[in-house]
Amino acid sequence: MAVTAALVKELRERTGAGMMECKKALVETDGDMDAAIEGLRKSGLAKADKKAGRVAAEGKIAEAQADGKAVLVEINSETDFVAKDANFGAFTDAVAQAALGLDGDDVAALMASEVDGQSLEERRQALVAKIGENIQVRRMAGVTTDGVIGSYVHGGRIGVLVELDGGDPELAKDLAMHVAALNPAYATVDQVPADVVAREKDILVAQAQDSGKPAEIIEKMVEGRLRKFLAEITLVGQPFVKDGDVTVGKLLEQKGATVKGFTRLAVGEGIEKKEENFAEEVMQQVAGN
């Protein structure tokens, strides 16, 4: 049986073992999932088997910087309580520092990195065994530049990196705070995909045509509304969070700087969380008794 990426991913999610260990186990068992899980258990790499199936949508964003490079990593836990644990915090800091030494965003390569003679994957497994929760290093993102980098982490839950050409670290950090607060979709109008612009324009044209106004008036209406739409979804078009009387674009102009891009990570975004119904849970326990 062919060992596919989907099989490796499933085995990793079910056992908490590293990607390379999972692939090796599947190759050795000719793709037999149950046999691969048993093999990992025997080798001591799957102590977190039961915990790995739990949803880990809490956690922490950690950041590290050095020599024109900055990285963000998201490490997830099951509860906010564990996210505040000192052991968990030390692990996230170690992951962020290790990420500085890598290029790209390959989490498997990151987890294979060694810190003090032990891989990060081994440290993660030990932490799962110690804390008793599913813990996963979900993603990483970084910026390497000759320009200016601004970073901001809000409460450990939202992390932002902003890259500027010109300006200074204070301006870059202010813009990182702005991105954390207002969450623009794009940095500049040039970065907005053509299909996004076309789709919005079609909607605006349809709305304007219902007004019954002349074609030339409709065209101006659409142009104005499209400019407003693009301003709302881009960093440079938004009113600066610290001074609503000036846009970010105007602020950059005043400072002789341009924004090259930004990265924003928020804990748990895109993870489907289990909805807890505590009243129903209590009723089920009462009925069971």
Which of 186, 181, 189, 176 has the alpha carbon at shortest distance from 149? 176
Domain parsing of the chain, residue ranges: 5-51, 54-144
pLDDT (mean) for 226-239 = 96
Q: One fold for both 5-51 and 54-144?
A: no
- Find out whether 71 and 141 touch, Cβ atoms under 8 Å: yes
- Asked if the model's pLDDT at residue 20 lies above 90, the reply is no
What topology does CATH give the domain 54-144? Tetrahydropterin Synthase; Chain A (3.30.479)
Phi and psi at 129, nearest 5°, equal: -65, -35
- β-strand pairing of 118-119 with 114-115: antiparallel
| Model confidence band, residue 217 (pLDDT cutoffs 50, 70, 90) | confident
Whole-number Å distance between alpha carbons of 60 and 89 = 8
Given this model, what pLDDT does residue 289 score? 44
- Find out whether 123 and 95 touch, Cβ atoms under 8 Å: no
pLDDT (mean) for 131-140 = 90
Given this model, what pLDDT does residue 18 score? 67
Given this model, what pLDDT does residue 211 score? 73
Given this model, what pLDDT does residue 280 score? 59
Whole-number Å distance between alpha carbons of 150 and 152 = 7
Given this model, what pLDDT does residue 226 score? 94
Contacts of 187 (CB under 8 A, 6+ apart): 234, 235, 236, 259, 260, 261, 262
What CATH class has 5-51? mainly alpha
Lowest mean pLDDT among 133-137, 154-158, 213-217, 225-229: 213-217
- Find out whether 155 and 270 touch, Cβ atoms under 8 Å: no
Residue pLDDT, tens place only, 263-286: 999 998 888 665 555 455 555 555
- Asked if the model's pLDDT at residue 225 lies above 80, the reply is yes
**pTM for the complete prediction?**
0.74
